[in-house]
Amino acid sequence: MSRGGRRILVVEDDSGVQEALVEVLADLGYRVLVASDGLEGLGLAAEQPEPCPILLDWRMPVLDGPAFLARLRQLPRGREFPVILSTADTSATNAPVGDQVAAVLTKPFDLDALTAVLNRLAPNAR
């Protein structure tokens, strides 16, 4: 976990991607919470005092992106977490997630695209 003002939860099973995201997001001023699978991510989301953005990998062991979303939305305030879907699976960009996600980023995604989505979700956060 890194220190910063704003919080973001990264739910990603690839440790290399995790490390890169922690570095980039910390540089953007985020306190980064990291989960290696959806079940761990669900636990961290439930512990948050306020909803925060979630960068969610679509394909993971234990609890994948679709199952994570379904269970997240059942939590109290679970619908208030803005979810950014992160996937290398281009078919997932057409998945029937509807209004369940705020944005979809296809891996490898551009830092500017991620920054733009985060700024759109919380334009005044600092």
List the CATH number of the domain containing 51. Answer: 3.40.50.2300
Q: How confident is the model over 2-48, as pLDDT tens digits?
A: 455 689 999 999 999 999 999 999 999 999 999 999 999 999 999 99
- Per the domain annotation, does 1 fall within a domain? no
Lowest mean pLDDT among 3-17, 50-64, 92-106: 92-106
Q: What is the DSSP string of 60-89?
A: -SSS-HHHHHHHHTTSTTGGGS-EEEEES-
pLDDT for the residue 51? 92
Percent of the chain with pLDDT over 70: 84
**Confidence band (pLDDT; 50, 70, 90) for 126?**
very low
- Alpha carbon distance 2, 31 (integer Å): 5
Domain count, the chain: 1
- Per the domain annotation, does 126 fall within a domain? no
Which pTM value belongs to this model? 0.88
- Per the domain annotation, does 12 fall within a domain? yes
- Per the domain annotation, does 92 fall within a domain? yes
> The domain containing residue 111 runs over which residues?
6-121
- Per the domain annotation, does 111 fall within a domain? yes
Q: How confident is the model over 100-124, as pLDDT tens digits?
A: 788 888 888 788 999 999 998 875 5
